[in-house]
Structure 1
Amino acid sequence: MIWILGIVALVGSGLWFATRSNSLPRAFETRRAEAMAIPRDAADTLTEEDIAHLPKPVREYIALTGSIGRPIVTEITTRFDAEMYDAPNAAGMPGPVLQYERFDTPERLFLMTSRMKGLPVAVLHDFGRNGATMRVRLAGLFNVVDIGGPELTRTETVTILNDLAFFAPSRLIDPRLDWTEIDERRAGVTYSVGDNAVSAELIFNAAGELVDFISDDRGMLEKDGTLRILRWSTPLGNYRDFGGWRLASEGEAIWHLPEGPFRYGYLRLTSYEAR
């Protein structure tokens, strides 16, 4: 799951002398078709033996999500109702989110559409073999944000780890994950992809549900387009059934600023497809 910060402020800052190009929803569909066309191995069925090496709270969580005895998830398509906030106490920017992820490669595409200052706006995050990019397009014509590079790729690697934990729990056996047992309700994990190794702490409740994800490896987008590394957490809950998968359906995104936590995003899962 990716989170948007500072879009309205970036427009106001003048960082929108950018390019004219095709629509971001069309770019999303083109990239999704490319990602889905990459050959994939047949999915193995997840067994109790597969998860035996994981910390106890992680094993319990995987079991309660309904993952045991089902094929290990490689791709997901999710839809959310979202609301993002530019600053504490600011008005929210609501809109639908469409997200596609493939975890073996990995690939991640996140598309949100909304309105900003009365104009339609689209946001596309794209993580693939060439790294990560983020584009925000105003009125279907001009990019008001167009960034990429190693720092964004590292930040988006944290997002993939977050989505993997909450929305593809059967893949928590991925060999790129290195686990640390903390206690009965917490586990540490490091995810290594390419040049990046990012870490997080996973927190579980007494029922065995994953209810929070905390990382110090993610960057908050500043008004000047740079990324500021801050503690990032995503408390999620209200577990529901989605085609036999028991998953968190509501969550928040929080930056832990020096002056206090800033809840800048809220998402509600409305549709989930996995294969």
Structure 2
Amino acid sequence: MRAFLRWFVVVVLVGHGLIHLLGAAKGFGWAEVEALTEPIEPALGVVWLTAAIVVVATGVLVAARNRMWWVAGAAGVVISQIAILTSWSDARTGTLANLLLLAALGYTFLSHGPTSYRAEYRRRVQAALSESPPGTGTALTEADLAHLPGLVAEHVRRSGAVGQPRVTALRANIHGRIRASATSRWMTYTGEQVNTFGPAPSRLFWMDATMVGLPVDVLHVFVGRTATMRVKLCSVLRMVNVAGPEMDRAETVTLFNDLCILAPAALIDAPIVWQSLDDSHVRGVFTNGAQTVTADLTFRDGDLVDFISDDRMSTSSDGSTLSPQPWSTPLSDYRSFGTRRLATRGEGRWHPTAPHDEFVYLEYNLDTITYTPSATAGDGGAINPHSASTRQLPRVI
């Protein structure tokens, strides 16, 4: 649906721009234009020609997903409307196309401008990475695994962490599907997250989702042991705004989950008390500030294949409250990311009281990951299992 809307805008803009050539043709005397009954002087012909060039250029930039399309669009809507006003009785219908362009410009400002969730995410990432402990360059050794249960140590070992620098932060890009309930429609999404590790770890997560063809912005912020989750439809209508102790607890579980799945190397220094349960299960008790959460980890052939916790919180249908509900994240498809080896596919599952009510609400695929990125590096250094970057430009419509 989004692609359809984008190409609809492209067609309208290119067509709208080409129609402006009629005014240029009449103004310069290139041809008789019966559709334009009012006289157009050569000077105004320049305005019509400029509008045609700028508006068509805007359409081309939108088609190419060029981030600077809005610069041409802002100029185009002004010049085009000036031309239309000079021949209002003949050209006033073109105002509708300019209103469409104006709406696209407004949405771009709301979704990418300084007040957007996207901009807030970038500011917070800059701050978090600037404040995170710098990498020491000290390589993780076998001796560092000695205090871990055998299953956890093997998981860290198989992740390729031994012999590599200790992890103080990560940046990951993912994509997948998400839904609110077992009967809800799936929403596709792309996401990026940045985690920092240390005495006061942080987790920042940005999701760009699509619901019935409309864009949905999701921002998770977990900084200073305080967490929030906010959701907006079309970057305007606030759908969810959750904060408080329950949210802090929920995000603490997610942070523990990220450690186990995305940054096994960071488990060696994390405040976790481990308990071996049997040959394939280990219990971990993770403390972050005032929050202490528990999870049972399941291993198969040395790989972590599931993470189960009763301390995760499920959001109510209106997004106003949170309640505890058993939660798990089955994992599969381990692949190499440069020197690292991680699960590239996973699910998020809720486990209500009735067993038959269990359902998958999240599917994710890990695309790229960078360990200990700089505050200004962006995604340029990200590595992925397929060698080619999967980073996507922000959508313009």
TM-score with structure 2 setting the length? 0.62
Judge conservation of contact 2:225–2:248 (CA < 8 Å) in 1. no
The 5 Å alignment of 1:208-223 reads 208-223=302-317
Match of 2:116 in 1: 23
Q: Match of 2:169?
A: 75
Decide whether the 8 Å contact of 2:125 with 2:204 is kept in 1.
yes
Secondary structure of residue in 1 paired with 2:252: helix
**Which amino acid is the alignment partner of residue 272 of structure 1?**
I
- Count matched residues: 254
Aligned partners of 2:132 and 2:168 also within 8 Å = no
Structure 1: runs of 5 or more not aligned? 1-20
Corresponding residue for residue 193 of structure 1: 288
Cα distance change of structure 1 residues 39 and 60 upon mapping to structure 2, 3 Å threshold: closer
> 2: CA distance between counterparts of 1:202 and 1:114?
29
Q: Given the alignment, which residue of 204, 224, 234 partners 2:299?
A: 204
Query: 1:1-275 counterparts in 2 under 5 A?
Result: 22-43=115-136, 44-104=138-198, 105-129=200-224, 131-205=226-300, 207-224=301-318, 225-259=320-354, 260-275=357-372
1:14 aligned residue? none
SS at match of 1:257: coil
Contact 2:225 2:288 in 1 (8 A): no
Deviation digits for residues 189-231 of structure 1 (CA, Å, limit 9, x no counterpart): 11111100111011100x2000000001010001241111011
Aligned-residue RMSD, C-alpha: 1.4
Q: For the Cα contact (< 8 Å) 1:138–1:144, is it kept in 2?
A: yes
Q: Relative to structure 1, is the Cα distance of residues 218 and 196 closer, same or farther in structure 2, using a 3 angstrom cutoff?
A: same
Ranges of 4+ aligned residues in structure 1 off by more than 4 Å: none
Alpha-carbon distance between aligned partners in 2 of 1:64 and 1:175, rounded to the nearest angstrom: 18
Instruction: Tell me the CA shift for residue 53 of structure 1.
Output: 1.4
The one-letter amino acid of 1:170's match is A
Letter paired with 1:263: V
SS in 2 for 1:46: coil
CA contact (8 A) 1:103 1:164 kept: no
| Contact 2:178 2:361 (C-alpha < 8 Å) held by counterparts | yes
Which has the larger share of helix? Answer: 2
Q: Which residue of 2 aligns with 1:16?
A: none
Aligned to 1:217, the other structure's residue is in SS state: coil
More moved, 34-43 vs 151-160: 34-43
**Identical residues among aligned pairs (%):** 38
Instruction: State the alpha-carbon separation in 1 of the partners of residues 360 and 307 from structure 2.
Output: 14
1:118 is displaced (CA, Å) by 3.4
Tell me, in whole angstroms, the C-alpha distance in 2 between the residues paired with 1:193 and 1:92: 33
8 Å CA contact 2:135, 2:165 repeated in 1: no
Q: One-letter code of the match for 2:122?
A: E
Letter in 2 for 1:33: Q
Report the CA distance between 1:130 and its aligned residue: 5.4
Report the alpha carbon displacement of residue 39 of structure 1 after superposing the two structures with TM. Answer: 5.0
Q: Secondary structure at the match of 1:36?
A: helix
Residues 23, 141 of structure 1: 8 Å contact kept: no
1:174 is displaced (CA, Å) by 2.0
Letter in 1 for 2:156: I
Structure 2: which amino acid aligns with 1:210?
L
Name the structure where strand makes up a greater proportion of residues: 1
Bigger radius of gyration, 1 or 2?
Answer: 2
Q: Is the 8 A contact 2:139 2:165 kept in 1?
A: yes
After superposition, what is the alpha-carbon deviation per residue over 1:67-105, rounded to whole angstroms, capped at 9, x for unaligned? 111111111111111200222143210010111111213
Q: Offset of 1:22 from its aligned partner?
A: 1.4
Aligned with 1:170: secondary structure? helix
Amino acid at match of 2:363: Y
In structure 2, give the amino acid aligned to 1:188. R
Closer/same/farther in 2, CA of residues 31 and 221 from structure 1, 3 Å limit: same
Which of the pair has the greater relative contact order for Cα pairs under 8 Å at 6+ separation? 1
What SS does structure 1 have at the residue aligned with 2:341?
Answer: strand
Q: TM-score, normalised by structure 1?
A: 0.89
Where structure 2 has 5 or more consecutive residues not aligned to the other structure, the ranges are 1-113, 373-397
